[in-house]
């Protein structure tokens, strides 16, 4: 028999799992797959990539309206020139692109997929990615109050 404490423990664990993976899990159930290295075009050459710079400020992305071409490599540097930390969120967008890597001053993460990113004031991050699914993706800063101040944009993936 499971005691009251045991049951409580399971509920806490379950809530923790929802917090950690609930949203991606829901996406998976709706038929959205997580990008894998298989999505990456075999002949991709990031030395031929289109470089793009996106400034984070208090409270904007500049540029905020970006069109990316499907199946082309991009090297996108996010540069937080603002005085505050900001993030960049949109679950559908991050399920429409495949990453090669994410590079910061501290090092590099090789991964086909991320869910969001966060930049401290004065920091930069460079994303190596290939857009894979056409669409119009509304991106925004999820830090409370920032989107309301105008920190949002549209990233489109076009053929
Ligand atoms: Cu922000």
For the chain, give every domain's residue range. 1-32, 37-158
Ligand 1 centroid–CA 54 distance in Å is 14
CA distance 111 to 97: 12
Which carries the bigger pLDDT value, residue 46 or residue 24? 46
Q: How does pLDDT run across 81-135, given as a tens digit for each residue?
A: 999 999 999 999 999 999 999 999 999 999 999 999 999 999 999 999 999 999 9
Residues surrounding ion ligand 1 at CB below 5 Å: 86, 141, 143, 146, 151
Q: Which secondary-structure segment (H or E) carries 154?
A: strand 152-158
Report pTM. Answer: 0.80
Rounded average pLDDT over 55-80: 98
Q: Cβ of 88: how many Cβ atoms within 10 Å?
A: 24
| Token pair 């090092």 in the structure block, residue | 107
Ligand 1 centroid–CA 73 distance in Å is 27
Q: Which fold has domain 37-158?
A: Immunoglobulin-like (2.60.40)
**Residue 27: band (very low, low, confident or very high) from pLDDT cuts 50, 70, 90:** low
Q: How does pLDDT run across 87-100, given as a tens digit for each residue?
A: 999 999 999 999 99
């Amino acid at each position: 028999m499971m005691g009251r404490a045991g049951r409580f423990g399971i509920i806490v664990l379950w809530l923790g799992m929802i917090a950690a993976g609930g949203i991606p899990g829901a996406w998976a159930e709706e038929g959205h797959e997580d990008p894998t290295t298989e999505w990456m075009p075999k002949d991709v050459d990031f030395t031929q990539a289109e470089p793009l710079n996106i400034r984070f400020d208090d409270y904007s992305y500049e540029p905020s309206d970006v069109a990316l071409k499907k199946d082309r490599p991009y090297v996108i540097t996010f540069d937080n020139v603002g005085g505050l930390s900001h993030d960049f969120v949109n679950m559908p967008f991050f399920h429409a692109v495949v990453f090669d890597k994410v590079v910061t001053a501290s090092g590099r993460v090789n991964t086909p997929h991320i869910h969001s990113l966060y930049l401290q004031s004065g920091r930069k991050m460079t994303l190596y990615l290939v857009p894979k699914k056409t669409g119009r993706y509304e991106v925004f800063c999820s830090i409370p109050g920032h989107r309301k101040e105008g920190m949002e944009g549209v990233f489109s993936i076009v053929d």
